[in-house]
Every structure is written in structure tokens, then in C-alpha cells.
A and B are shown apart, each in its own frame.
Chain A
Amino acid sequence: MTLIAFLILISAVVIGYVLNLRSARALRHGGAKMHSLDGFHGGYAALMVLIPTFMLIITWLLFQGTVIEYLVKSGLPQDQLEGKGTGEIQLIMAEIRSIAGGRIFGTPEAWKLDAAERMVALRATSGGLLVAATAALAAVMLYIARRKVAADFRARQGAEGIIHGLMVACATVAIFVTIGIVASLLFETIRFFNMVPFWDFILGTSWEPQIPLREDQIAAEGAFGMLPVFLGTLVIATVAMVVATPIGLLSAIYLHEFASHRVRAVVKPVLEILAGVPTVVYGFFAILVIAPAIRSFGADLGLPIAPNTALAAGSVMGIMLIPFISSFADDALGAVPRSLRDGSLAVGATPAETVLKVLFPAAIPGIVGGILLAVSRAIGETMIVVMAAGLIAKMTINPLDSVTTVTVQIVTLLIGDTAFDSPKTLAAFALGMVLFLMTLVINIAALRIVRKYREIYD
């Protein structure tokens, strides 16, 4: 049905274009002095039909699922739903949905079969209505556009106005994405704080998000204190930066000051490869090579190293960040005015002294900006830590120990089927909010430093 709706849309657009183009051409041949070219008349009709009808189809498709769900749910026999939590109702709806999709497990109750039948019927009705609505709207828009063709009709302005509006809409999509992120995180986070007190989350030192499934179950009481998780994130990010910063800075200095053009032309792209490797690959690399190597090295020294030590995840993350820091530092060194460098060399400083004592201090703001952006990446990096770091939150700053991070907890809490009303799920959104705010602050600070510094020399 959706396909038919789209076919109607496309044919209406084409028909509108061709008809208006032809009438405009006929008018021109009839001797009229047209304001706009024929093509604009055609384009105007096409856009007039396309935009509203397309919006209609998309909105319909977005909301039909929710509406049908709501209708089916409100049609369920009340006595079956009495006293059931949202989780159970969701399970029932999932079962009805799968029955409606033709996957029947066991022998469901009759009222569930009825509901599934109603769902199928509603879906068919919705599909039919969509096609009818599409056809009607396309016809109306076609009629309006058809009547507009006239010698003095400013079709170019009309068509360009619509395109301009479209472009503005595209540009605001970015804002809507941000609003969407903030709204979805905020909404679920507020629900979370209705269940878990705010200060328990911010200042709690114990993170055990297991919630007993049944009343009588012996399970850990859920505890949602984010401090140990936060601390683990810092430990791993610190390890990563300790690996990445010196290597990145030194290679940038070498590339900028000592390497010939040919070496640069080879080394820079190869370093960029490190940045292009997907993080899931780094995660596998960490568990396949680095973690066993660190463990056996530790065993030789007699150090107790946890199987998923923070060192493994952190150092692999550091490798990933090397090209990031090195290219930022290289850019920053390159942005220092040539006169500073030439002056320093002219008074007899060696290239090394020039880099360390003249260029480097002058480039510090740019380099700091780059390092800050790398820190924000390290904090937000997910796959490496999900695969190579631990799951248990500990209040420790020992990098040999196993720690967990904000992103690991988000993924483990949300993996698999989740209901949207347990504090366990909502905790992930609260952590996501913390992560978003943290990286946002760091990013804004870094971008500001970088920009300000550029202005000094421009």
C-alpha cells in the first residue's frame, strides 16, 4: 500500500510538471509575453504537488503504528488488563503483534487472537486510507497548480521560494537533532529521577543496577550511584591520553620539523588509517592481542593484573587517538607564523630548540584544543571498552584492576529486549545525559580555544 501511495505521488508530480510545462509553452507560442520560463511553471507544479503529499505520506507512516497500537490496546477486554503493570501490557502487545504477523507460538487466548485480527484489519484500513488520502491531496494540489499557469504568473519566484524553504528546513534538521537528543535524554532522565533520588545518583558510590524481577527473588538491591562508573571512565581515558599524547605530539613534531616532504606524504596517510579503523576492530584487537600480552607481562613481573584490565582498553584507545592528536598538533604548529620560526633559526637556535621553545609555546592553545577533543572522544568511545573493559563498577583508580565506564553501562543496560519503565533502562538514559553534557562542555571549550587561538594570528 505504501508503494502504491509513492507511485501515486511520483505520477502526480510528473503529470503536474508535464501539463504545466505544456500549457506555458502553448501560451508562449500563442504570443503571450511570459514572466517565467516554461520549465519554472512545470517545476512549480511539481513542487506544489510533491512537498505536501510527501509530508502527508511520511507523517502517516510515522504515526500509523502508534495509533493502531493505541486502538488495539484500548479495545482489549478490560478484565484482562486489570492490575497488570506496563511491562506486562507491553508483553501482551508484543504477543498480539507477532500473532498479527503470522507467528503464533502455542495456543493464545481467544481475546488475543481477536485483537490480532483487529490489528490486521486496522492495518489494511490504514493502508487503504493512506492511498485515498494521498490521491485526494495530490489531486487538489494538482488542481491548484494547474490553475496558476498565466503569462504574468511569477513561477520562478514561486518555485525558488519553495526550494528556499526546503533548504531552510534542511538546515534546521541539525537543530532538531540536537533538540531530539536533549529531549529524549531529558525525558527519560526525569522519569529515572522519579524512581531514584537525584543525589543518590550523583554522589552514590555503589553501582549495582540489578533489580529483582520478582518480589521474592533474592537479588542485590538496585543501587545507582554513578561515581564508580564515572571514576572508571576517567581511569581508562587517562590511560588512553597517557599513551596517545606523547606519541601523537612527538610524531607531529617530527613530521613538522624533521621529515622530508616525501616522508610526510607517506607517514601522514598511514597514520590516518589508524583513525579510520572501526572501533569494534580495536575492541577485538584489545581482547585478542593486547590484553593477553599485558597479562603475561604482568605475570612475569608478579603483578596481579585483572583479565580485563583498564590498561588494555585504555592503551588500545590511546592507539586510536594518536592520529587525532598528531594531526591537530601538526595543524597548530603549521599555523604559527613563519616569521617566528625564521627569526628563531636566524639567531642560531637549532631546529629542535625552535620547535620546543618557540613554535610549541605559540601553538599550545591549538594543541590543548586538540587534546581536549581527544579526551572527549576517549570518554565517549564505546566499542573498545564494551569489549575489553569490565562490567563491575569499583571505586578504584588502579589501572591494573578491571573498571567499567559510562558507555559500557549504557550498552549493557540496554542490550537485549528492554522495557521503558524499569529504573535499569532509564539509568542508561541518565548516564547518557551525563555523557552528553560532559562531552558537550569539553567540545565547546575545545572549539572555543581553537577558534580564539586562530584569531590571534589571523
Chain B
Amino acid sequence: MTDATSDKFDWAAPAFQATLRKRKRSQLWLKSLGLGAILIAFAMLFLLVGSLISTGYHAFTQTHLRIDVVLDADLIDADAPERGNYRQILTNTMQAQFPDVADDRAALRRLTSILSNGAQFTLRDMVVADPGLIGQTVTVTVPVSDPYDQLAKGLIDSDTPEENRRLKDDEIANFNRLAEAGMVSKPLNWGLITNADSRFPELAGLKGAIIGSAYALLICFLLSFPVGIGAAIYLEEFAPKNRVSDLIEININNLAAVPSVVFGLLGLAVFIGWFGMPRSVPFVGGLTLALMTLPTIIIATRAALKAVPPSIREAALGVGASRQQVVFGHVLPLAMPGILTGTIIGLAQALGETAPLLLIGMNAFITSAPATPFDSATALPTQIFIWADSPERGFVSRTSAAILVLLTFLIAMNAIAIYLRQKFERKW
């Protein structure tokens, strides 16, 4: 048959070959454009993650200085050790390190500024815990302040002209002398996770934000999980097909697409404005996030319920179970892996949500971790927002590091969801 047609049509004619080449060329074009589009998307993802890691990894170490401090009994009142002049003690310590530096206040202040502002409080806490230390010499390891931290990490280029640099030549020389004496170390920066927020980058950590986020997510889960499952079961298994259930369904689909900032406005007006709940607390944050997560959980649960084959329901009904016994005894347990997967994905979205939390005030500057969901706190994404807004150089790498921490949590949650799906998903 092919022979018959080829008799009528000259496949080798140059005109036909030309169109064929053209058509193949346009095919190649489309293919490479498509591949190019995917590569652009990949490149952007790579650039995003790469830029975060390349700026953020600095914050996973923190430069520390190990110094011998003389806890001068003249400067600390043994009866009230918390009132001691620890700043002066530190100044004396640094002066002892640099006997050749002139004894004027400005020079001394610049010397002391090598140490983090938190060093005096570290000393104070040590002495308050053990007043017996007064008058003795202790060796402490304290963080250095942000500019010197940057210097030790090689982020300050000594080739730039001195007036454009944050550290002058003599300051760099001083620090290098300490480094040569083996007093400078760069251990892992556990403070990033164990400290709460601070104005000073070298002391700022994510403890308050992580706990705040955890409380908000807990509240969000406790509310949206049962309510979402209840709503989904009703709509999928019991609701009569009428206009009311249609309305509810349209409503849920639309809620899922409402911008998150509008939920923030709702939380602000209703929970804080009308019910008089406090600002900045994880409880209100959790409530607001729960309203946002609810549609996601309802939609996921309905899909999971739908996937359970009707034969299960019919068999259970056939042996005399009531409709609720069918659902709660058979359908729901079988749908549970799917429901949990959907819930975890919904919670992961809620964890990264920022705008509604900003509106209910979870961007306050709070230097202690919340003890209960009713204490003021920040959350991980709002903490990232605060740090990204801070002018100090050290906060750039802290922000990237905080983002990496947040992404780690998100990846972990999604990994659990994928694991659950793979492990328990049934093919009927």
C-alpha cells in the first residue's frame, strides 16, 4: 500500500523535503524552548538555594574569644552580684591583653567592642550562679561582636580603602594579635537555635521563633484537623445533594484561594478587635492559620474518602452496620493515610505563612522564648522578615541561616507526608 501512494507522490522532491525540514526544525525549536523553560526554572531554584547557602553558612559558626577575666572584688558587690560593673571588668581584661594601647577612654572602648555586648551578661550570670567566683580569675569563651565576626570569616576585605571599611587598620591588627595568640575559635553556632532574638546579630537566635511557630502549629492542628475531617465526612458521606451542600462546596473552594493577608485582616478584626484577645500571641496566630488550613484539609480528606472503594461501604452496610459505623469503623481508618498526608502538607503551608502573622502582630521584638501559647512571640517566617529588615550586616547571613532552618522543617514535614503516602497507600 505504501508503494502505491509513493508512486503518486514524489517524497524526494526538493520542495517537499524543504517543507519537511522546516517542520522538523520548528519541532526542534519547540522542544528546545520547552527544555529551555524547564532549565530556567531549575536555574532559578538552584540560584535561590545556592544564594541562601552561600550567605547562610557563615551563620552556622560564630567566632568566639577565650579570655582570662579577673573578677575584681572591687567592682562586684558580693551582696548584690547582679549589680556589678561587668563592663569595666571586661575593659580591664582587654586592657591587660593590650598593655601598649593608650589609656584613653575612646581607645579602650574600641578595644572592648571586640567582645559581644552579651559578654557582660554572661559574666554576670556566672557570678550570680556562683558568688564564690568573685575575686578569682576565670577563663570564659564569649562571642565576639558582629564586625569582628565578619572579619574572622573573611568577609571584610582589608584591601578596601580604610575609610570605606567598618574596621580600621589598628582594629584589624588588634584582632589579629588575639588570633595569633590562639584565643580566637570558630565553634558551631548553637546560639542560633538556643538563643532568643537580640538586637546584636552575634547573640540573636531562633529559639523564641521556633517555639512560637510550634505553638501556633499545634493550635492550628488541634482546630483544623477535627473540624476539617468532620466537615469532609459530612460533605462526602452524609450530605444530601441540595443547594446548601453545593453552596458549602463552592464556598470551600473559594476560601482555599482567598489571599492569606485577608485571613490576617479577619484575625485582626475578629479575634483581636472584637473578642479582645491579646496581640502577638501564638494562640491567635494558630487560630488564624487554622482558618486558612481548613479548606486544604477538607479538600484532601474528601479526596481520600473518595478513594475508598464503595464495596467496603456496601459490605459493612450489608452485615448490618449503621451508616456512621461504616464511616468511623471502616472508611475513615482506610482513608487515614491520605488524610494525614494532606494535613501535614497543609500544616507545612501554614508554617511558611507570614502575612497573616504580621497583621496580628507576631513581628514584635521579643527577647525571651514564650512559655505558653498565650505569651508574646514571633514565628519562624516573621523572624526571617524581622531579620531581613535589620540593617546590621550580620543579620544577612542570620536571615539566610534562619531560612535554611525553616526549609529544613518544611522538607522534613513533606518527607514524612511522602513516606506516609508510600508506606500506607493502598491500591484497590
CB distance A174 to B231 under 8 Å? Answer: yes
Q: Which residue of B lies closest to A354 (CB)?
A: B27
Cα distance A87–B247 in the bound complex, in angstroms: 41
Determine, out of A13-21, A26-34, A119-127, A267-275, the stretch whose residues face the partner at the interface: A267-275
Contact between chains at B262 and A432 (CB < 8 Å): yes
Cβ-defined contact, A281 with B406, below 8 A = yes
Decide yes or no whether B324 CB sits under 8 A from chain A. yes
> Contact between B355 and A411 (Cβ–Cβ < 8 Å)?
yes
Instruction: Please give me the residue from chain B that is nearest to A415 by CB atom.
Output: B358
What is the CB-to-nearest-CB distance from A289 to chain B, in angstroms, rounded to a whole number?
A: 5
Q: Sample 6 A-B pairs with CB under 8 A, ordered by A number.
A: A185-B266, A187-B269, A250-B34, A278-B354, A284-B400, A387-B388
Please state if B275 and A415 are interface contacts (CB–CB under 8 Å).
Answer: no
Report the Cα distance A321→B266, complex, angstroms: 25
User: Chain B, interface size: which category?
Assistant: 35 or more
Contacts of A273 in B (CB 8 A): 45
Among the listed stretches B47-55, B121-129, B154-162, B197-205, which one makes contact with chain A, having 4 or more residues with CB under 8 Å of it?
B47-55
Q: Can you list, as one digit per residue, whether each of B219-257 has a CB less than 8 Å from chain A (1) or not (0)?
A: 000000011111101110011000001011011111101
Interchain CB contact under 8 A, A278 and B352: yes
Interface membership of chain B positions 386-405, coded 1 if the CB is closer than 8 angstroms to chain A and 0 otherwise = 00100000001001100100
List residues of chain A with CB within 8 A of the CB of B135.
none
Q: Mark B260-276, 1 if CB is under 8 A from A, else 0.
A: 11111110111001111
Whether A382 touches B23, Cβ cut-off 8 Å, given contacts A250-B37, A284-B403, is no
A404 interface hit (Cβ, 8 Å): no
Contact A443 B254 (CB under 8 A): yes
Q: Is A63 a contact of B27 with CB atoms below 8 Å? A: no
Q: Would you call B309 an interface residue if the criterion is a C-beta within 8 Å of the partner chain's C-beta atoms?
A: no
Residue of A nearest to B32 (CB): A254
- A143 in contact (CB, < 8 A): no
Which residue of B29, B36, B233, B257 contacts A167 across the interface (Cβ within 8 Å)?
B233
Chain A residue at minimal CB-CB distance from B403: A281
Tell me whether B42 is interfacial, beta carbon within 8 Å. yes
Select one of B231, B349, B361 contacting A171, CB under 8 A: B231
Smallest Cβ distance from B11 to chain A, in angstroms?
12
B416 within 8 A of A: no
Residues of A within 8 A of B324 (CB): 160, 163-164
Q: A278-B406, A280-B354, A432-B262 are in contact. Are A171 and B384 (CB under 8 A)?
A: no
A270-B269 in contact (CB<8A): no
Question: When chains A and B are docked, how far (Å) is the Cα of A163 from the Cα of B235?
Answer: 14
Contact B275 A63 (CB under 8 A): yes
User: Once the chains bind, are B275 and A352 in contact (CB under 8 Å)?
Assistant: no
The answer to the question of A276 belonging to the interface, with a C-beta cut-off of 8 Å to chain B, is yes
Complex Cα gap A170–B223 (Å):
11
Known: A174-B295, A175-B247. A280 touches B381 (CB 8 A): yes
| CB neighbours of B270 from chain A (8 A) | 180, 184
Q: Which residues of B contact A239 (CB under 8 A)?
A: none
Cα–Cα, bound, A169→B231 (Å): 8
The answer to whether A167 and B259 touch across the interface, beta carbons within 8 angstroms, is no
| Cβ of B348 under 8 Å from chain A | yes
Chain A residues numbered 289-325 whose CB sits less than 8 Å from any CB in chain B? 289, 319, 322-323
The answer to whether the Cβ of B33 comes within 8 Å of any Cβ in the partner chain is yes
B41: CB under 8 A from chain A?
yes
Chain A residues with CB below 8 A from B27, complex form:
350-353
Residue of A nearest to B47 (CB): A289
A254 to B355, Cβ gap below 8 A? no
Residue ID in chain B nearest A166 by CB atoms: B230
Residue of B nearest to A320 (CB): B44
Task: Tell me whether B37 and A280 are in contact (CB under 8 A).
Answer: no
A289:B381 contact, CB within 8 angstroms? no
Complex CA–CA separation, A287 to B48 (angstroms): 12
- Give me 13 other A-B pairs in contact (C-beta within 8 A), A277-B48, A281-B52, A432-B265 excluded: A66-B276, A170-B226, A174-B251, A181-B262, A181-B266, A247-B41, A250-B37, A253-B30, A257-B34, A258-B31, A279-B354, A289-B48, A380-B262
